[in-house]
Amino acid sequence: MAIGIFGGTFDPVHIGHLRTALELREHLGLDAMHLMPCGDPGHRTAPLTSAAHRFAMVELAVAGEKNLVADDREVRRSGQTWTVDTLSQWRAEAGTELPLCLCIGMDSLVHLNTWKRWRELIGLAHIVVAARPGWVVPTTGEVADWIADRLVVDKAVLLKAPAGHLYIDEMTLLPVAATELRNALHSGHSIRYLTPDAVVDYIQYHHLYQ
Ligand code: ATP
């Protein structure tokens, strides 16, 4: 068994998130990929939409894709949620041996040093980075130095240890961001094909992002 954890605001979830989650699960040979919307994030501005709505949209988006799981552990928690606390909870539940992969986009890796107790994350899970259009691996600064000691090129090692490695995966690049979906909706434009139809319908029904 090996599990992937893909966190984010998902405000709203879109095809960039969904293809990334699906491809990472397949490429790495993970048993399941959990898409985990944050509650009240500590390291960035609050999402526009309630955690309950953001979670509901993720749930609709992954319905029918059995290895993708909508995970509500952060939205259930009140107050600010920090990834390091969530991973500690995962590790306590999963035990010491199960490989866990915290999956993030390249933009998140570049800013990883702004996350609470960021150096501890890799002791709790591997960190897997998805390429994202417009972002490259940092080559200078404290994140770059930290990467150099942990980067592996053989993804097979991720399944042989519970945590501790950093892996960068090449995948289908989809230059989509939730900001663009919010802006389009705000201007009255369609977001069809940027997210599953069930999410489009949910947004319309609840009059979100207007
Ligand atoms: P926003 O535009 O509101 O900043 P976003 O589209 O970047 O949102 P987030 O919920 O902030 O979405 O992202 C969650 C995770 O998904 C992050 O690790 C981010 O790097 C990654 N991600 C988001 N969009 C893509 C994409 N198109 N391709 C690959 N990774 C992505």
pLDDT at 134: 85
Contact partners, residue 162, CB within 8 Å, separation at least 6? 96, 97, 98, 99, 100, 125
Separation between Cα atoms, residue 155 and residue 127, nearest integer Å? 11
Residue with tokens 């961001």: 177
Q: Mean pLDDT in each 10-residue stretch from start to end of the chain (210 residues)?
A: 96 97 97 93 67 96 96 88 94 97 95 96 97 88 92 96 96 93 97 98 96
Position in ligand 1 atom list of the atom nearest CA 15: 27
Neighbours of 137 (CB within 10 A): 14
Index of the ligand 1 atom closest to the CA of residue 107: 20
Cβ–ligand 1 contact at 132 (below 6 Å): yes
Residue 45 pLDDT: 63
Pocket probe mutation, ligand 1, options 14, 111, 132, 186, max atoms within 8 Å of Cβ = 132
Query: Cβ(30)–Cβ(24) under 8 Å?
Result: yes
| Residue 9 in contact with ligand 1 by CB distance below 6 A | yes
- pLDDT at position 44, please? 60
pLDDT at 149: 87
How many angstroms separate the CA atoms of 182 and 195, rounded? 12
How many angstroms separate the alpha carbon of residue 111 from the centre of ligand 1?
A: 13
**Separation of CA 8 and ligand 1 centre (Å):** 7
* Model pLDDT, residue 46: 64
pLDDT of residue 3: 98
Q: What's the pLDDT score for residue 120? A: 97
